[in-house]
Chain A
């Protein structure tokens, strides 16, 4: 069964709307979760590292005011795309892992975001 649950799986909305994506760790407590963005036919690009109880760490070039991350509990991280525009349309995917080197990151099923 799924180790990481991500919702919604698909969102289509109008430009200017804010969209919230949830990422839940089902089988373990995840002090750290990761948010990625993937354009068609490209690799995953790390956007930010979500840390439980503290501020997220954003990668260079990622607007923290545009992509709000909240990690309020050990099993839930949320990504909010604020005032989304067509260029924000993409595939967003989260992951979580236990803090041991040989444990893989478990990924959610991703969210396809389409902004009209």
Chain B
């Protein structure tokens, strides 16, 4: 079963408008972290925003905010005031924490959403 589900293969948004990219996750672990990465056509993975499972408030980083609904297991990325440079693939990822509290932290990625910003 998929641990991270991104149901939108592609999205279009008008420049300067806001857009929401969906992400749902599946885990039975109470401690986990959720990440969003941007991958432009050049290939590099750019970290955007992080949400911890115990965080009380939704994470925000500039034009990026995360709509975290824990009961629904969703962590949607909201990009405000879209810019042409926002056109890229966006990946949602989850990190589950080992019970020991330390060690390697693997990321599980969703299939991604391709965002195209229209001038």
Contacts and interface: CB of A to CB of B under 8 A. Distances in A.
B7 interface: no
Contact of A102 (B45, B50, B106): B50
A2 to B, nearest CB: 9
Interface string A81-107: 000000000010101010101101111
B35 to A, nearest CB: 6
Contacts of B42: 109
A54 B44 CA distance: 28
Interface residues of A, number: 24
B103 interface: yes
Contacts, number: 61
Q: Chain B contact residues (Cβ within 8 angstroms of A): what range?
A: 20 to 34
Interface of B: prevailing SS: loop
Contacts of A32: 103-105
Interface in B35-77: 35, 37, 42-45, 47, 50, 52
Contacts of B33: 101-102
Contacts of A77: none
Contacts of B25: none
Contacts of B47: 104-107
A101 B97 contact: yes
Contact of A93 (B45, B50, B102, B110): B45
Contacts of B45: 44, 93, 95, 107, 110
A108 B44 CA distance: 7
Contact of B91 (A44, A51, A108, A109): A44
A43 B37 CA distance: 11
Nearest to B91: A43
B14 interface: no
A99 B111 contact: no
19 contacts: A31-B104, A32-B103, A32-B104, A32-B105, A34-B106, A42-B111, A44-B91, A44-B109, A46-B106, A49-B104, A95-B107, A99-B102, A101-B33, A101-B97, A101-B105, A104-B35, A105-B47, A105-B107, A107-B47
Interface of A: 31-32, 34, 42-44, 46, 49, 51, 91, 93, 95, 97, 99, 101-102, 104-110, 112
